[in-house]
Amino acid sequence: MSAFGLMPVSSRTLGVAVLLALVAGGPAMLAWQVQTWRYERQLAQTAQIQAQMLNQITQAAAIQQKAEQDKRLALEQQLSASEQSHYRALSDAQRDQDRLRDRLATADVRLSVLLDADDVAAGCAVSATAGTGGVDHGPPRARLDPAHAQRIIAITDEGDRGLIALQACQAYVRAFGR
């Protein structure tokens, strides 16, 4: 007799139920475990792909940021060079104006204006005759009073400064326009 036949009927039923559960549930448990392994592998692959994409995005952002920093640095250097050249031009113009003002004050240089021949004929109070020992053989001239000459020099000085400042502003705008 078999070992199965020696069991009581109630235990036999229970044994058959357990045996059927093992026979039916074993492959189901095995399939469940295989499915778990596959799903874990897919999740790992997805995580790896996402990490690679994130790394690529980070690298692209770093490259773009470096390019922007290089552009900004080049612009700052260009603006600095432009500012230095305009400052140099302004200081040169100021130095030239100061020299001219000093020469006018010491009577080393005199400003004169051209006279219109019609005004001389109309009775202008300024003498149209050339001074003695002059080498200027051009049209008649009249010397300006030193105070008026100083005012004219001051006006031209302000004009020179304004033009240099305008050029600096234009260079600044052009640098940002690029």
Q: Is residue 80 part of a domain?
A: yes
Q: Is residue 75 part of a domain?
A: yes
CB hemisphere CA count around 110 (13 angstroms):
8
Q: Is residue 3 part of a domain?
A: no
Same domain for 87 and 44: yes
Can you give the pLDDT of all 178 residues of the chain as single tens digits? Answer: 576 677 777 787 888 888 888 888 888 888 999 999 999 999 999 999 999 999 999 999 999 999 999 999 999 999 999 999 999 999 999 899 888 888 888 877 777 777 776 665 555 555 545 444 455 566 777 777 878 888 888 898 899 889 999 998 998 888 888 7
Same domain for 54 and 96: yes
Same domain for 123 and 36: no
User: What phi and psi values does residue 130 have, to the nearest 5 degrees?
Assistant: -75, 150
Q: Is residue 2 part of a domain?
A: no
Which range of residues forms the domain containing residue 117? 113-142
Q: How many CB atoms lie within 10 A of CB 74?
A: 12
Same domain for 64 and 122: no
Q: How many domains does the chain have?
A: 2
| The residue type at 35 | Q
Q: Is residue 4 part of a domain?
A: no
Same domain for 126 and 66: no
